[in-house]
Amino acid sequence: MDNRFNKVFPSFDPINPKFQPGNRIIDNFSNHVSFHLFSKCNNCTFKKCIQQLNALAIEFSNSLTNALIITDASIKNNIAMSIAHIYVHNKPMVKTLDHTVNVMSSEAKFFTIRCSIIQAVCLHEISKIIVIMDFIHTVKKIFDLSLHTLQKQAILILKDLREFFNHHHENIIEFWECSSKSNWKLHKVIDTETKSFNLTSLMPNKNFWDVSKKSECDDITTNER
């Protein structure tokens, strides 16, 4: 069987050393990562969530070593859009806006998380990162040891986190859930931006996909000869 086209869609890597016992990030840095979820049953829960996030933002505004990341991602008309705002000492330090076509929503969210982490650790001597989003259940797949289609993207994020944790033993990252329905002011800004973004493709999406994959396959075939 001709195996050359397996390079087009790399997905699983079950023997990657990053996933072997003793090397996994949850084995060595379990106390450095935490998730904070909330129930979406009633209005009181949303009010409590907003109060917690407001208190968190105020707390973070008092330190130059804390980075607060507010992020969101969405897909509209087959175009994935991701936005991240990074605050340090109550000031917006970085704002990123990325878009692409023909990717899954989960891929866009993983990309947003990785870019945000890289941007945050490069700003100052950051020791604590808070990431606030409405797709926390997707992000938990980063630490999922079972096989899934985003494993390779997860490995890249885990590599960045490992470097961050190794830099100082007290470095931590926290993921907080914030539903778009809660209308928390900082998250509402980027939620509105992602939903209002419009991009017109230069060619129909299906044709663009066919052309791009054909070119990629042609390149692989040429290199294998």
Reported as a single tens digit per residue, the pLDDT across 55-92 is: 988 888 888 899 999 988 877 777 777 888 899 987 87
The answer as to whether 147 is a domain residue is yes
Range of the domain at 57: 24-224
- Residue 145 falls inside a structural domain: yes
Q: Is residue 190 part of a domain?
A: yes
At residue 158 the predicted structure's pLDDT band, cuts being 50, 70 and 90, is confident
CATH code, domain with 66: 3.30.420.10
**12, part of any domain:** no
Q: Residue 122: which residues within 8 A CB-CB, separation 6 or more? A: none
What's the pTM? Answer: 0.72
φ and ψ at residue 218, rounded to 5 degrees: -60, -40
Give the chain's mean pLDDT: 75
For residue 45, give Cα distances in angstroms to 48, 64, 166, 186: 5, 31, 36, 18
In angstroms, the CA 154 to CA 172 distance is 18
Q: Out of 22-36, 64-78, 148-162, 177-191, pick the least confident.
A: 22-36
R_g (Cα) of the chain, nearest Å? 19
Residue 38 lies in a domain: yes
* For residues 98-111, average pLDDT: 78
In a domain, 77, yes or no: yes
The larger pLDDT score, comparing residue 194 to residue 216, is at 194
**Any domain includes 1:** no
Q: What single string gives the DSSP state of each residue in 137-177? A: HHHGGGG--S--TTHHHHHHHHHHHHHHHHH-TT-EEEEEE
Give me the pLDDT at residue 5, please: 36
Q: How confident is the model at residue 207 (pLDDT cuts 50, 70, 90)?
A: very low
Which of these, 25, 26, 10, lies nearest to 149 by C-alpha position?
Answer: 10
11 falls within a domain: no
Q: How many domains does the chain have?
A: 1
Q: Which two tokens stand for residue 12?
A: 């699983």
